[in-house]
Amino acid sequence: MSDLKTYGYNTFSEIFVSVSTENIGRVTTVNKTNYKIITESGFKTGELTGQMLYSLSPSELPQTGDWVEIINYAESCIITKVLPRKTTLLRKTAGRTSDVQILATNIDTALIVQGLDRDFNINRLERITVALLDAKIKCIIVMNKIDLDPDWQSKVEKVQNRLPDITIIAISALNNTAIDTIQKQLIPQQTYIMIGSSGAGKSTLLNQLVKKEIQQTQTISTSVGKGRHTTTHREMFVLSNGSLLIDSPGVREFGLALSDSDSVTTSFSDIKYLSEKCKYKNCTHTNEPGCAILSALEDGSLLIEEYNSYLKLRNEAIHYQQTVQEKKKKGKNLAKLIKDMKNKNMKKRYD
């Protein structure tokens, strides 16, 4: 039991009422088709039942962070079911499709790591926090490499002004500066994930937090300005204070996978406040008379940058919703086609 507790069982157990603890595990690493699983009696290698392997879609398969039902089998176990997820961290796959990939599940809080060097981008920070809050995942922004930027304080201030409700911690992972400030924010048995561009310093920070060289960090190749891809898979670590941390591969462009365009508005506090003063209830804030947002833009009380990133996010959210709906419709059409075919065959048989 103590192993399960270490990996967050108590913060998640309300949904397991009917499952005995010996049949429960949590996925800490995914390796193609086998899984490293923490169970009541330590780590085991888990495999899927054949039926699961062939009947589940990629997003339904076990992911790092998932709680699963298992059948113990000597030193290994067989996964029979993925338990309901508290949160799912998605990202869009490469290309312009609406396909999404799961980065990890059952995350409580994300540490968004951004370097103060070339990596620094306030609009990107805003987009990422919106996507995370949309997925019910809390965020902490970690601004790394303060040793490289004498002007770091004003950048931190800018970010704090734009995102007043989010905790921002400025550190130097390399020099071990302010790492303890992060540690103080981390709650035992809660699950955290680090996300950020390749080269932002995630592995360096992880090493400082775990206090030993787990991940090998690599030197940035200055010619391209991108860290070489060193982290190749997601793995869950237990930190000394008992919190859990998943390291994720470099996510150069953390694509959004928003499900709800309204939550975009909620995340932009200025815009939300103003939008309540628009003349029309369904104002799109683009060309309507009596639009409070447009007039705030005109008198300069709303920044054009904030308005633009709001519009961009809103359009993405709408586009994402539409493609999901189209897919569902296509799925339904296909199901109907199969049903019709089956009916026809049945008729033939009995005619």
Ligand X SMILES: Nc1nc2c(ncn2[C@@H]2O[C@H](COP(=O)(O)OP(=O)(O)OP(=O)(O)O)[C@@H](O)[C@H]2O)c(=O)[nH]1
Q: Which residues pair with 73 in a beta bridge?
A: 76
Question: What does the DSSP 8-state code read for residue 217?
Answer: P
Question: Cβ 199 to ligand X, closest distance in Å?
Answer: 5
Question: Cβ 116 to ligand X, closest distance in Å?
Answer: 8
CA 248-8-141 angle, 5° bins: 45
Closest CA to 268 of 312, 321, 216: 312
Q: Closer to Zn ion at the Cβ: 68 or 283?
A: 283
Q: Which SS3 state, helix, strand or coil, does residue 77 take?
A: strand
Residue nearest to ligand X (CB): 250
Q: How many residues bind Zn ion (CB under 5 A)?
A: 5
Question: Cβ 239 to ligand X, closest distance in Å?
Answer: 16
Binding partner of residue 291 among Zn ion, ligand X, none, CB cut-off 5 to 8 Å per kind: Zn ion
CA–CA dist 237, 350 (Å, integer): 61
Q: Which SS3 state, helix, strand or coil, does residue 275 take?
A: helix
- Beta strands 34-39 and 24-31, pairing class: antiparallel
Question: Cβ 158 to ligand X, closest distance in Å?
Answer: 19
Q: Closer to ligand X at the Cβ: 26 or 234?
A: 234
- Does the annotation place 291 within a ligand binding site? yes
CA–CA dist 14, 322 (Å, integer): 34
- Does the annotation place 10 within a ligand binding site? no
In one-letter notation, the amino acid at residue 146 is I
Closest CA to 214 of 206, 202, 222: 206
- Does the annotation place 197 within a ligand binding site? yes
- Does the annotation place 285 within a ligand binding site? yes
Residues in 277-296 at the binding interface with Zn ion, rule: CB under 5 A: 278, 283, 285, 291, 293
- Does the annotation place 233 within a ligand binding site? no
Q: Closer to ligand X at the Cβ: 198 or 267?
A: 198
Q: Which residues pair with 245 in a beta bridge?
A: 192, 237
Q: Closer to Zn ion at the Cβ: 159 or 313?
A: 313
In one-letter notation, the amino acid at residue 115 is G
> Residues 234-273: x/- map of binding to Zn ion (CB under 5 A)?
----------------------------------------
- Does the annotation place 136 within a ligand binding site? no
In one-letter notation, the amino acid at residue 272 is K
Place of tokens 């970010």: 159
Q: Closer to ligand X at the Cβ: 57 or 232?
A: 232
- Does the annotation place 196 within a ligand binding site? yes
Place of tokens 């007043």: 164
- Does the annotation place 282 within a ligand binding site? no
Give the residues lining the site for ligand X (CB under 6 A).
144-145, 147-148, 172-174, 196, 198-204, 217-220, 227, 229-231, 249-250
**C-beta separation of 223 from 170 below 8 A:** no
Please provide residue 263's backbone torsions phi and psi, each rounded to the nearest 5 degrees.
Answer: -70, -20
CA–CA dist 108, 13 (Å, integer): 14
38 binding Zn ion? (CB under 5 A): no
Q: Closer to ligand X at the Cβ: 109 or 215?
A: 215
Binding partner of residue 229 among ligand X, Zn ion, none, CB cut-off 5 to 8 Å per kind: ligand X
Q: Which SS3 state, helix, strand or coil, does residue 48 take?
A: strand
- Does the annotation place 77 within a ligand binding site? no
Q: Which residues are part of a known binding site for Zn(2+)?
A: 278, 283, 285, 291
- Binding residues for Zn ion (CB under 5 A): 278, 283, 285, 291, 293
Known binding-site positions: 144-147, 196-204, 278, 283, 285, 291
